[in-house]
């Protein structure tokens, strides 16, 4: 362990966003460094749109090894980097930058982080499953791309604004997976037949915790109810689905594993996932 000591070999990492002071990434990633003995420090940088390109020059100038990127920079950062990984290109957003001796490469770990969490915590086998994704925003895009790599039989995307679900479906290559768009008014029937239902909207997020995108009893007993929200840790959607006999999966794991992949890309070491989760959980309970 480095015991939190900062010396002349300490490597700098960070997260950029606007706003950024709510971010749990610094406590999570600094815990990961401490746990694995990596001599690094991870900071939160409040970067506005008009200073984004200056910040990117700063990454190279200061030798910052890794940067996480959050709202509103996930798209605009792309044209400032030297290379973009194929997955991030297909998703159209970057949330992780690796600095290899001044060459900046962009990745997207949100979708693969979500899928790793889903498989480890709730649904070890996604192949052949029927999936309903509620919502068609940025998060839906990343997780649908990652879910497609797992060969489910079918993914249906529904959205309040159904044209956005159609646009999302049209922009992704489903391959052998049946990828279709629908609208929220079909959700009851769609949920009856689904093995996994995923809420990617903000419906049910604090402070509107009594709201839910669907009723839990619309789902098959034994199916997986998954919510990207982690505040609260167990949304009304998950509470109802659990009471109905479903397996539930909350959004905290996605946050932990998107950070775990970033840590692994930067350091080449396995991320100490349990310690990262413990630290974030502690911080959510204060
Ligand atoms: P976004 O791009 O703004 O998309 C929001 C989506 O929610 C859109 O599909 C929108 O539908 C829908 N929506 C919003 N309010 C709604 C309402 N009242 N009724 C029905 N649909 C509604 O946001 P995002 O970045 O995808 O994030 C979505 C959620 O995922 C947020 O709760 C966020 O906290 C969570 N998230 C979690 C993690 C994690 O690590 N766990 C990571 C990323 C995001 P319209 O198109 O009709 O507006």
**Sequence ranges of the domains in the chain:** 11-108+254-285, 111-250
Our answer on whether the CB atom of 196 is closer than 6 Å to any ligand 1 atom is no
- pTM of the full structure: 0.93
Number of Cβ within a 10 Å radius of residue 83: 13
User: Over 60: is that where the pLDDT of 154 sits?
Assistant: yes
Q: Find out if CATH 3.40.50.10860 is the number for domain 11-108+254-285.
A: yes
Ligand 1 geometric centre to CA of 282 (Å): 25
Average pLDDT value for residue range 33-50: 98
Our answer on whether the CB atom of 201 is closer than 6 Å to any ligand 1 atom is yes
CB-based contact 210:236 (threshold 8 Å): yes
pLDDT, tens digit, 9 for 90 and up, residues 225-243: 999 999 999 999 999 999 9
How far is the C-alpha of 99 from the C-alpha of 174, rounded, in Å?
32
Per-residue confidence (pLDDT) for residue 286, from 0 to 100: 65
CATH superfamily of 111-250: NAD(P)-binding Rossmann-like Domain (3.40.50.720)
């Amino acid at each position: 362990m480095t015991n939190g000591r900062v010396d002349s070999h300490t490597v700098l990492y960070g997260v950029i966003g606007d706003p950024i002071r709510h971010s749990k990434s610094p406590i999570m990633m600094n815990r990961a460094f401490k746990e694995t003995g990596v001599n690094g420090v991870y900071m939160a940088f409040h970067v506005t749109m008009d200073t984004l390109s200056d910040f990117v020059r700063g990454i190279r100038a200061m030798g910052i090894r890794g940067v996480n990127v959050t709202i509103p920079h996930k798209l605009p950062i792309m044209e400032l980097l030297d290379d973009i990984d194929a997955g991030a290109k297909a998703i159209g957003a970057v949330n992780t930058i690796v600095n290899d001796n001044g060459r900046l490469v962009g990745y997207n770990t949100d979708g693969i982080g979500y899928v790793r969490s889903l498989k480890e915590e709730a649904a070890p086998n996604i192949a052949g499953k029927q999936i309903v994704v509620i919502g068609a925003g940025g998060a839906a895009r990343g997780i649908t791309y990652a879910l497609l790599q797992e060969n489910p039989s079918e993914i249906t995307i529904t959205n309040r604004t159904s044209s956005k679900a159609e646009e999302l479906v049209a922009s992704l290559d489903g391959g052998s997976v049946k990828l279709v768009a629908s609208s929220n008014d079909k959700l009851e029937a769609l949920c009856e037949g689904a093995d996994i239902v995923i809420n990617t909207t903000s419906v049910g997020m604090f402070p509107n915790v009594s709201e839910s995108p669907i009723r839990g009893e619309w789902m098959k007993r034994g199916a997986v109810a998954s919510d990207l929200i982690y505040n609260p840790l167990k949304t009304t959607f998950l509470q109802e689905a659990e009471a109905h006999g479903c397996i539930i999966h909350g959004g905290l794991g996605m946050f932990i594993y998107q950070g775990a992949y970033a840590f692994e890309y930067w350091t080449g070491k396995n991320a100490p996932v349990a310690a990262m989760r413990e630290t974030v959980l502690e911080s959510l309970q204060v």
